[in-house]
Chains A and B, each alone.
Chain A
Amino acid sequence: MSSDTLTVAGHTFNSRLIIGTGKYKDYAENAAALEASGADMVTVAVRRVNISKPDEPMLMDFIDPKKFTYLPNTAGCFTGEDAVRTLRLAKEAGGWNLVKLEVLSDPKHLYPDMEETLRAAELLIKDGFDVMVYCSDDPVFARKLEDMGCAAIMPLGAPIGSGLGIQNPVNIRLIVEQTKVPVIVDAGVGTASDATVAMELGCDGVLMNTAIAEAKDPIRMARAMKHAVIAGREAYLAGRMPRKKYADPSSPLAGLI
């Protein structure tokens, strides 16, 4: 089991769980949840420094970028050009080539703008980035992103922050079956069983933020998610029993007294 690692664009990770760093009470809680989750990759956002408060706590003071892989995102970017600009800055700030592309649309559902996502992915790949791409759960778009050279396909399970769980397991499974690069469910997980379902569908990993950050006890939920991802992965690799229409006794019927 310890050798069951996740490899994205040549980088190998011990955990198949990736967690976000938004919405926590503070960075200390965030760091504790990260420790409990066992994740070794975290998504981070790129924003202006508040120069009137240079002493404000910074994410890097709590989560060591040498120990954990920072995956800079493009949240807040609505065009390919904005995404390239943001991620070039992120690289300079201590990020690296591996990035998370998300080009959002309507704030009501935060669905990805797939037309612009495709354009942005192309620009980023040309610029030398390894792009892990947040996308709709549409196998046609997923195929286009993979063909273009994206490093990981990250379909949503449900709208960002909704905690509704995997709404379209059929599509997620279709994407898993057709994709050669890692498929990581990004967004929609609400509780541990949702993460397990994603992994049982054959996904290579799960990315989540709100499910941990907005749990009543985020650190405990982070630990639950660690186990959920391992359980789902193990069950997928073990291969589940076939579904049957009728009962099949576990104790032999022969030799009854």
Chain B
Amino acid sequence: MNLVINGEDHLDLPEPLTVMGLIAHLGLPEKKIAIERNREIVSKSTFDKTKLAEGDILEIIHFIGGG
């Protein structure tokens, strides 16, 4: 499956894939991030139920230093 994550193409990801599966695949700390899928926020409580589809556009964000 092919996804666009943070503006970059990610090809040949394993399927089927949930948001939780993707987080584990990428090795990201689930509690410290937030995810938007096709401009809609994916609530943390639904990470394991949300199935990703071909061509989904994801934004994965966290907090960094700022003023």
Contacts and interface: CB of A to CB of B under 8 A. Distances in A.
Are these two chains actual partners, yes or no?
Answer: yes
B17 interface: no
- Scoring A27, A46, A93 by chain B CB atoms within 10 A of each residue's CB, the highest score goes to A93
Nearest to A53: B27
Contacts of A85: 36, 39
A160 B67 contact: yes
A92 B26 contact: no
Given A51-B5, A92-B44, A45 B32 contact: no
Contacts of B39: 85
Nearest to A160: B67
B63 A72 contact: yes
B41 A51 contact: no
A90 B2 CA distance: 26
Interface string A186-200: 010000000000000
A80 B52 CA distance: 29
B66 A58 contact: no
B66 A20 contact: yes
B1 interface: no
A54 B64 CA distance: 14
B14 interface: no
Contacts of B11: none
A43 B63 CA distance: 10
A94 B63 CA distance: 9
Interface string B31-50: 11111100101011000000
A49 B63 contact: no
A88 interface: yes
A161 B66 CA distance: 12
Residue from B28, B36, B62, B67 with most neighbouring chain A CB atoms (10 Å): B67
Interface in A183-214: 187, 209-210
A92 B41 CA distance: 8
Nearest to A50: B6
Nearest to A88: B41
A44 interface: yes
A49 B33 contact: yes
Contact of A48 (B27, B44, B61, B66): B61
Q: Which 8 A-B pairs have the closest CB atoms?
A: A45-B66, A20-B67, A209-B67, A93-B34, A21-B65, A92-B34, A54-B27, A44-B63
Given A89-B61, A93-B32, 9 more contacts: A21-B64, A45-B66, A45-B67, A46-B64, A51-B5, A54-B28, A60-B32, A72-B63, A73-B66
Interface of B: 5-7, 26-29, 31-36, 39, 41, 43-44, 59-67
12 contacts: A20-B66, A22-B65, A46-B64, A48-B59, A49-B6, A49-B62, A55-B27, A75-B66, A90-B34, A92-B41, A161-B67, A209-B67
